[in-house]
Amino acid sequence: MEIIRIDSLATAFIRPVEGVNAGLIHTPKGMILIDTTSSPAEIKMLVEAVDANPEEVRLVINTHFHSDHTWGNQVFNCPILAHRSCLERMQSGLKNEWSPEALQSYLSDQEKTDPKKVDDFRRTLLDLNITLPNQVFEERFEGELAGLSYEVIHLGGHTPDLSVVWLPDRRLLFASDLIFQGRYPYVFDADIPVWIARLSHLMEFDALVIIPGHGVMCAEAEITALRDYLQETWDLTHEHIRQGHSPDETAADPAYSRFAEQKYERLHHANIRYMYNQIIG
Ligand SMILES: [Zn+2]
């Protein structure tokens, strides 16, 4: 992990290889935490790594419902802010894929393929008490803490509930999973055309620093690279469907460009198939 002091206020926790990023904004009246990673133990470790105390966190922002951004929520005894649809999606998760029965059956499936991962996941579940956001907003939330202005802006794309966090005075943008830097993106809850449009929109922020949800701090070149990958994959898939090709024939086309030096290459075909299904509706 890399701990990056972006300026006198902001710290980014960056995991370039595996895992998810998070951000911490320091103010004289306490801290704002952006996303809580995959587990209580993980987020506690990050916050304590900068000699901060979880009790100093005055506000947690969940950028979207995915478990690697929300499952550390229980550590914090403060408002947890998210878009209304993030709360709704997490409520639905608790009844469905995050229910004790569903998690147990996930563990049994994984036991056969990756026992080490199952051990780690079992340990996480022992301590886990999935905690919901307790403050929601509709399209945009504008707040201030100790004179520091911040905006949480609902954009969707990667997931329908996704929001970015923008510090206008510092021109600092926490882009969440709208940006995957250096690896294939996870698209399986995405609306691809919305995502492509939102990546173009991110350019308009004219940010000095962009912290992605996954990967290292990046610039407009990385936004363009991801937008081009999504657009080209989407367009070529459209063309295959127009020609009546099956999902297998489509995914096998070598003309699809590879992304991010093929890191998380297993998503190459899976992403094509997801787009195929989204296009045929
Ligand atoms: Zn995500």
The answer to which of 104-118, 129-143, 152-166, 241-255 has the lowest mean pLDDT is 104-118
| C-alpha span between 55 and 36 (Å, rounded) | 14
Give residue 196's pLDDT: 98
What does the pLDDT read at residue 262?
81
User: What is the mean pLDDT of the segment spanning 229-236?
Assistant: 98
pTM, to two decimals: 0.96
- One DSSP character per residue, 186-203 reads P-TT--HHHHHHHHHHHH
CA of 61 to the centre of ligand 1 (A): 14
Contacts 24+ apart (CB under 8 A), 97-103: 98/67, 98/130
127 C-alpha to ligand 1 centroid (Å): 22
Q: State pLDDT tens for residues 29-81.
A: 999 999 999 999 999 999 999 999 999 999 999 999 999 999 999 999 999 99
* Backbone Cα Rg of the chain: 19
The CA 19 to ligand 1 mean position distance, Å, reads 11
Ligand 1 centroid to Cα of residue 64, in Å, is 7
